[in-house]
Amino acid sequence: MKIPEEKLFKQSLEDAYHRGEFTLHYQPQIKLPSHSLSGFEVLLRWHSAQYGNVSPERFIPLLETSGSIDKVGKWIITKACTFAQALIEAGGNHLCVWVNVSPHQLVNGNIVEHIKRAISDAQIFPWQFGIEITENSPISFTSNSLHNLRRLRNLGIKIALDDFGTGYSSLAYLQKLPIHMLKIDKAFVDSLAFNEKQQNFVHLIIKLAHNFGLKVIAEGVETETQVEWLSYCHCDYIQGYIFSRPIPIDEALRLAVCRKVDITKIS
Ligand code: C2E
Ligand code: CA
Ligand code: CA
């Protein structure tokens, strides 16, 4: 009997970890107004022998439904802490390494223990490690998740609310969540090109976050006009193709050594 293509794909994904087909890329984050490097977001990549490069948007939901995200997620956390250690050696102990944590990992109690151990094994400072939790899943806001987030925050780990403006959080949650930073979704950054109303809206989000004592990072920044508006609004950090795509570890370390990111030189 012929095995359906989707089943073969899922099987290949389940084997990818043991076959060493996963790698990590690192996307620089830039502090405003200095344009200095402030950290990196860690992004998972799957290069399949059979299917080539597969988008995380396609394979991460499958890892979540199969439960493998716990195992792969732990590997990512360990590698991210090793990267942060390498950053210290490159003179960047002020740089924060941000890992995307799936809501499924967050409800599982032992993620806190794993992060604690990974930080201690790599001998990095807690402020060098951050997690990004998505606003797109209601699971991010269950009592179990909140409990684990508070424990992580008490350890000194940074927490960002990703995809802000697209999902389940409300103003009431902004007060309740133990977060340090809001990550404005790319859709809002894109909308800056449309009209004044959208520009004012983004300005308002930044002011609101600052009033709550939160830092703000904008993602998916691609144009100088967007950088100008975000700078005008006192957005704290930006990230996007205008500075750099996600890059392999050796390039990321080289960037950490030279520190200053010049938007006229990096595309
Ligand atoms: P995300 O966390 O919102 O990550 C941002 C996505 O936007 C990344 O796509 C990044 O490569 C892309 N991006 C960054 N700057 C720009 C830009 O200027 N323009 C455009 N067009 N895109 C930009 P990627 O790597 O394909 O990841 C997609 C999603 O997959 C992520 O969205 C995240 O939800 C998930 N993901 C990726 N890596 C991980 C991981 O290690 N763990 C978990 N749980 N999820 C991950
Ligand atoms: Ca993210
Ligand atoms: Ca995002």
pTM of the full structure? 0.95
Q: How far is CA 107 from CA 147, 169, 252, in A?
A: 9, 17, 31
All residues at 6 or more sequence positions from 10 whose CB lies less than 8 Å from its CB, including other chains = 62, 66
CATH superfamily of 5-262: EAL domain (3.20.20.450)
Number of the ligand 1 atom closest to the C-alpha atom of 64: 44
Q: What is the CA(1)–ligand 1 centre distance, in A?
A: 38
Q: Are strands 52-54 and 96-101 parallel, antiparallel or unpaired?
A: unpaired
Number of the ligand 1 atom closest to the C-alpha atom of 25: 25
Residue-level pLDDT at 190 = 93
Angle formed at CA 129 by CA 141 and CA 132, multiple of 5 degrees: 30
Q: Say how far apart CA 80 and CA 41 lie, in whole Å.
A: 9
Q: What is the CA(2)–ligand 2 centre distance, in A?
A: 38
Would you list the domain boundaries of the chain?
5-262
Residue-level pLDDT at 261 = 55
pLDDT, mean of each 10-residue run, the chain (267 residues) = 83 96 98 95 97 97 95 98 96 94 89 97 97 84 89 97 81 85 94 88 94 96 96 98 97 85 47
Residue-level pLDDT at 41 = 98
Nearest ligand by distance to the CA of 62: 1
Name the phi and psi angles at 53, rounded to 5: -75, 125
Cβ < 6 Å from ligand 1: which residues?
A: 27, 42-44, 55-57, 60, 76, 100, 102, 162-163, 219-222, 240-241, 246
68-76 CB contacts, 8 Å cutoff, 24+ apart: 68/13, 68/14, 68/17, 69/102, 69/104, 69/105, 70/104, 70/105, 70/108, 71/17, 72/17, 72/22, 72/44, 73/101, 73/102, 73/105, 73/111, 74/111, 74/114, 75/17, 75/22, 76/24, 76/42, 76/44
Residue-level pLDDT at 267 = 39
Residue-level pLDDT at 1 = 60
Q: What is the CA(100)–ligand 3 centre distance, in A?
A: 9
Residue-level pLDDT at 43 = 98
Number of the ligand 1 atom closest to the C-alpha atom of 43: 38
Residue-level pLDDT at 131 = 98
